[in-house]
Amino acid sequence: MGASLSAAVVFFVAGILFWGGFNTVMEATNSMKFCSTACHEMTWVYEEYKDRPHYQNPTGVGATCSDCHVPDDWGPKMIRKIEASREVWHWMLGTINTKEKFEDKRLHLAENVWRSMLRTDSRECRNCHDWSAMDLEEQAPRAAREHARAFEQGQTCIECHQGIAHELPEDWDESEVWLARFEHDEPETDLAERGEPEMPLEAEELGEAVVAEGDIASTLDWDDIPALDMTLFLPGQASIEWIQDGSEHGGGRAFSFGDRCVWCHAGEEAQIGEMAVNAEKIETFDLGDKRGHIPMTAQASFDDDYLFMRFQWEAGEHAPLPFVDGGRMDPDNPMKLTVSFADDRVDMADRGGCWASCHHDSTYMPDAPEDEALAESELAERLELMNGVTKYLSESRSEIEIRGRRGAARGGWDKLKEEAEIAELLSGGVYLDIARYNSGNELTESGYILEQRHLSESEAVVITAMEEDGVWTAYLTRALRTGVEGDKPLSTDGKYSFNVALHDDYAASRFHHVSWQYGLAFDAEIPGDFDDDMVEINATRISR
């Protein structure tokens, strides 16, 4: 352009120096030190961040502030730096120069970030994470399943990973940013694909009443019958409402899509039980030295008339419950064993099994009604409320409060449907079949859960149990079709939800160990008759 060679060299060197200086400043403002020390307001969130997996983890690969808050690409990065000038202005004004001011604005600040990440498809997350680089087969089952679904549905990272780097603001789930997400409601056209139950209108055929031949199961040879290894655990105060509340239970959305609890949580039973015992989560009562989990094996066989099952588990040392005089809630029964069956006519039984009947307002639960409210309730004529609210199904109530918004009690114990509606549900098979063995008097009770728990002595279901050398062995002999209302007729062509609950060490009420919901079939071809991730107990046909 007419300039001398020396002038061109000067301009070239000056450009390099300018760019180097500019880039140095940009990188300096991207550093962890700059964010955590130069800006006093960031010291509080920096301390939170140090307790998070992005700061320190087994792999040693961490993330700095800029990794999450500044784009990698030059253009978006410059735009973000220009936007940050507003933050300098507020720093000068002292808008959040105290922790109290910061906490007052925490939700507003978080919403700014959430909206930005939703708008950019979590662009900053993808500074390090990328769908195409994920090996789902190497991930934990829960993560693999959720990541696959998120990819298929076009979800973005921040929709599931709020609070992964900083503490969540109080009532964050009430934010307009997330309300639609937690009130997620799928189109009715998807119900068939998800396999959710439809309300049956026809009455369930029970057949003629049957009297069991006695304890047949204990006389069988169980050596060649496959065994399912399962681990029972303390569920604490994790109600069916808590399970569905995505703001408290991360799997709430997955559950709404039809995912079974066991798909995500198999292998975590000991950890969950430990949290309950330590009142670290899902529990507020002091459980002392109570066992958090109990390994158990279950076997199943059948013939044309009966289902037979055998259960085995180790007896434990007595651990008195600190909140009970004498430490024993049920001193007459060292052990009670309950088995439960349901089909897809009960909503949520195909995912949570008997958990569908565990509500936030039942006895010893956080929203259990006061004795005065129970005594004054008009429902006292229809429900047995002497010992509090028993288990019940959501189908028996006209309304269930899931999230307890604005201080409302969760559950719906006092929203009971009319008697005619309850009778229609019962005749239509909408109930949980339960059978319970009481070790104190060696009595078997059978019944069902619908508007409340119903139990009475059974002639068609027989459970026996004995402890020998520190090991309990229990046998179940159950007529496939008992002919009794409340006993689920079992078809050898069908698939059922099956659960076990163990009141160990003189426990009562909800202080029991439970299993996940398992799929029970009868000598089925898998895969074929049913998908291989839907059946865990495939009963073996035998001849007697």
Condensed to tens digits (0 to 9), the pLDDT of residues 338-383 reads 999 999 999 999 999 999 999 999 999 999 999 999 999 999 999 9
Q: What span, in angstroms and rounded, lies between the C-alpha atoms of 520 and 490?
A: 10
Residue 437 β-bridge partners: 337, 444
Considering the domain architecture, whether residues 154 and 264 belong to the same structural domain is answered as no
256 and 121 both lie in a single domain: no
Give the pLDDT confidence score for residue 196 in this predicted structure. 44
24 and 120 belong to one structural domain: yes
- Spatial contact of 338 and 511, defined as CB atoms under 8 Å apart: no
The predicted pLDDT at position 192 comes to 37
Is the pLDDT reported for residue 197 higher than 50? no
Is pLDDT above 80 for 92? no
Kindly write down the DSSP assignment for every residue of 279-300, as one continuous string.
Answer: TSSS--S--TT--SEEEEEEEE
pLDDT at 289 over 60: yes
- Look at the alpha carbons of 365, 437, 429, 526 in this order and tell me if their dihedral is positive or negative: positive
> Mean of the pLDDT values across residues 72-90?
73
Q: Tell me which of 154, 183, 212 is where a domain ends.
A: 183
In this predicted model, which residue has the larger pLDDT, 420 or 65?
420
Q: Is residue 222 part of a domain?
A: no
Closest by alpha carbon to 266, among 237, 297, 232?
A: 232
Last residue of a domain, one of 157, 183, 209: 183
Mean pLDDT within 76-98 = 72
Domain count along the chain: 2
> Which of 84 and 479 is assigned the larger pLDDT?
479
264 and 162 belong to one structural domain: no
Residues 168 and 82 in one domain: yes
pLDDT at 283 over 90: yes
Residue 223 forms part of a structural domain: no
Cα(458)–Cα(444) distance, integer angstroms: 6
Give the model's confidence band at 82: pLDDT under 50 very low, under 70 low, under 90 confident, else very high.
Answer: confident
Torsion sign over Cα 497, 447, 474, 508: positive
The identity of residue 457, as a single letter, is E
The model's pTM: 0.78
Phi, psi of 438 (to 5 degrees): -105, 115
Please check the confidence at residue 40 and state whether its pLDDT lies above 80.
no
- Domain assignment present for residue 515? The answer is yes
Q: In this structure, is residue 215 part of a structural domain?
A: no
Q: Looking at residue 281, what is its pLDDT?
A: 87
Bigger pLDDT: 188 vs 90: 90
369 with 436, same domain: the answer is: yes
CATH number of residue 168's parent domain = 1.10.3820
Q: How confident is the model at residue 159 (pLDDT cuts 50, 70, 90)?
A: confident
d(Cα 18, Cα 21) in Å, to the nearest integer? 5
Flag whether 273 is in a domain. Answer: yes
One DSSP character per residue, 77-109 reads: HHHHHHHTHHHHHHHHHTTT-SHHHHHHHHHHH
User: H helices within 30-73, ranges in order?
Assistant: 32-33, 42-49, 65-69
Question: Is 241 in the same domain as 174?
Answer: no
Strands 335-342 and 306-314: unpaired
- Let me know: does 450 contact 463? Beta carbons within 8 Å: no
Provide mean pLDDT across the span 179-205. 52
**One-letter identity of residue 415:** K
| 127 and 249 in a common domain | no
Say whether both 146 and 250 belong to one domain.
no
Q: Which of 131-145, 180-194, 266-280 has the highest mean pLDDT?
A: 266-280
Mean pLDDT in residue range 466-476: 97
Tell whether 178 and 261 lie within a shared domain: no
Residue 170 has pLDDT above 50, yes or no: yes
Does residue 480 have a pLDDT over 90?
Answer: yes
Same domain, 177 and 299: no
Q: Model confidence over 304-339: pLDDT tens digits? A: 999 999 999 999 999 999 999 999 999 999 999 999
- Which of 183, 217, 249 is the last residue before a domain boundary? 183
Task: Report the chain's C-alpha Rg in angstroms.
Answer: 29
Residue 368's identity, in one-letter code, is A
The answer to whether the beta carbons of residues 344 and 197 sit under 8 Å apart is: yes
Amino acid at 27: E
d(CA 273, CA 516): 13
SS3 annotation, 1-38: CCCCHHHHHHHHHHHHHHHHHHHHHHHHHCCHHHHHHH
Domain of residue 145 covers 12-183
Q: Does residue 353 contact residue 499 with C-beta atoms inside 8 Å?
A: yes
Return mean pLDDT, the chain: 87
Same domain as 301, residue 175: no
Tell me which residue of 306, 295, 213 sits closest to 540, measured CA to CA: 306
405 located within any domain: yes
- Is the residue at 106 inside a domain? yes
Amino acid type, 213: E
Is residue 195, in this structure, part of any structural domain at all?
no
